[in-house]
Amino acid sequence: MNKKGVATNTGRTHWIKGHTPWNKGLNKDNSELVALIADKVSQKLKGREMPKPEGFSETMRRVNPPSERKLSNDGYVWLYLPKYEGSKNDKRYYGRIYEHRYVVEQHLGRILSPKEQIHHLDGVKNNNNIENLVLCANVREHTRLHQKEQKFVEKLIEEGKVYYDRKTGEFMLRQNNLH
């Protein structure tokens, strides 16, 4: 229990001084009884909110700080910059910011709004060179940019400048178009 008297789940068992544990006196001979009691306790607690203590996440980050640069599951690069103003817009990220957003913010000299999106021209999500990044005002503009790319590739295929190699499964530039 925390100071406010709310039960918290910190991954460890906490007992209030003077309280008797539910399994005191039970041993291996009573394994069926222990399993039955444990099942009843878990059913009773199921669905109950067990919040972490106030400041738990901040304390854990101080004890075990995240790495400064990390690749996300979706291929983007995260930066851990807890003191950077742009990383504080969303509490879910706890001091993290996408590297491509940070690079554009540094280039522009301002913090991006949450609606603004960044497009990677070459499609490589971890290529965050400023020359490869385009700022889009919103999702709609970003989607239009993807559509323009798609139409451009289709036009190149139609003109015979690009072809699909079925052996490699890749789009290729025809050699006779190079000057």
Beta strand 69-71 pairing with 170-173: unpaired
Domains of the chain: 1-54 (no CATH), 66-177 (3.90.75)
Of 94, 71, 74, 99, the closest CA to residue 83 belongs to 94
Against a cut of 0.85, is the pTM above it? no
pLDDT digits (tens, 9 = 90+) for 82-124: 888 877 666 667 788 899 999 999 999 999 999 999 999 999 9
pLDDT digits (tens, 9 = 90+) for 40-92: 777 777 767 777 778 777 777 676 666 678 888 888 999 888 888 877 666 66
Helix (H, G, I), strand (E, B) or coil at 143: helix
Q: In angstroms, rounded to a whole number, what is the distance separating the alpha carbons of residues 78 and 100?
A: 9
